[in-house]
Amino acid sequence: MATTNDLKNGLVMKIDNQLWQVIEFQHVKPGKGPAFVRTKIKNVLSGKIVDRTFNAGLKIETATVDRRDMTYSYNDGTDYVFMDEKTFEMVPVSPDIVGDAAHFLLENQKVILAFHEDKVLFVELPASVVLEITHTEPGLQGDRSNAGTKPATVETGYEIQVPLFLNIGDKVKVDTRSGDYISRVTD
């Protein structure tokens, strides 16, 4: 058990026998009335995000979440297979749990898997990854109809918007939370 004072981003708690992860929180002390905590929480299994307000000092039940360093190995056609870096155990994870993280997974990439009672809850990626552009149209000089960007497909098959000067074979840094282009990567 914890109180609302112990809330922090990433904390997983049990509410109505479901697991919810704190995305954002804010302690509010209005001039009049009792203090409260405004949160944005995400259902770990369904991905649904809701806003919830808790009275300050309220006791909440936290879930024990074990985060393990893993390496993405391969996709066997149905599941994504990760290897535990300490025990070398192979852990298959269904595409439902991997979700949008699949857009940024490359073989031998280091990730964190969150477990609760030996069940995988979610895949935590690094904040950004470097991916190679496998397909894009050549950018036309002077074409500013779309704010100087064009669609490009990266090596995972995901499509992002990149600046006009990038070509096939260029490496780009991509934000894994939003899927946005960050910068060009030169070797």
Per-residue pLDDT reduced to its tens digit, 31-67: 888 999 999 998 887 778 899 999 988 898 988 888 8
What structural domains does the chain harbor?
A: 4-63 (2.30.30.30), 66-124 (2.40.50.140), 128-184 (2.40.50.140)
Q: What is the C-alpha separation between 109 and 9, in angstroms, rounded?
A: 24
Q: Give the pLDDT of residue 72.
A: 92
Are 105 and 71 in contact by the 8 Å Cβ rule? The answer is: no
The average confidence (pLDDT) of the chain is: 87
Asked if pLDDT for residue 110 goes beyond 70, the answer is yes
Asked if pLDDT for residue 139 goes beyond 80, the answer is no
Q: What is the mean pLDDT of residues 118-142?
A: 85
Which residue bears the tokens 């025990």? 87
